[in-house]
Amino acid sequence: MRKVEEPHFLPYQRRWLEDRARIKIWEKSRRIGATYVQAYEDVRDCLSGAVPAVWFSSADESAAKEYMLLCELWIRLFNAVAKRLDIDPATSRNGVQVHAISFTSGGKITVLSSNPKAFRSKGGKIVLDEFAFHADQDAMWAAARPCIT
């Protein structure tokens, strides 16, 4: 894996990357590059083997698509090999749209819906983007918490 240097990140973004806590909370504002730096961290963590899988959920479909595009940007910059998988709701077993990236190294990033049931029986790194805008934060946390604790 080619190392991507981090000097172009802003100081608060570098602090986010350097924080290795199991649970991280970021009070953020609009368009500050939080999704940008999160995508970098998730790709880096999958490629390095730090996590076997990342399960990402945002408040809406457009934010999820932006995250996937940013992951693809970082994959190219890392010069890594990965395959993107998109499953249309009409062809899926459970009617859910799935976006995922599988790395040849074995890691995987999957974007899940904001339905709390989507996190049941998952393991690995959980990212609850724009958590305050999820319809039922208590149910989301109840479903995601066992995956990370």
Strand duo 108-112 + 53-57: pairing: parallel
pTM, 2 dp: 0.84
pLDDT tens per residue, range 107-145? 999 998 788 888 778 888 999 998 888 888 899 888 888
Coil vs helix vs strand at 21: coil
Q: Is residue 122 part of a domain?
A: yes
Q: Is residue 8 part of a domain?
A: no
Q: Is residue 77 part of a domain?
A: yes
Question: Taking Cα atoms as reference points, which of 11, 36, 38 lies closest to residue 24?
Answer: 38
Question: Based on the structure, what is the number of domains in the chain?
Answer: 1
> Cα–Cα–Cα angle for 86, 2, 41, nearest 5°?
55
Q: Name the residue range of residue 104's domain.
A: 33-148
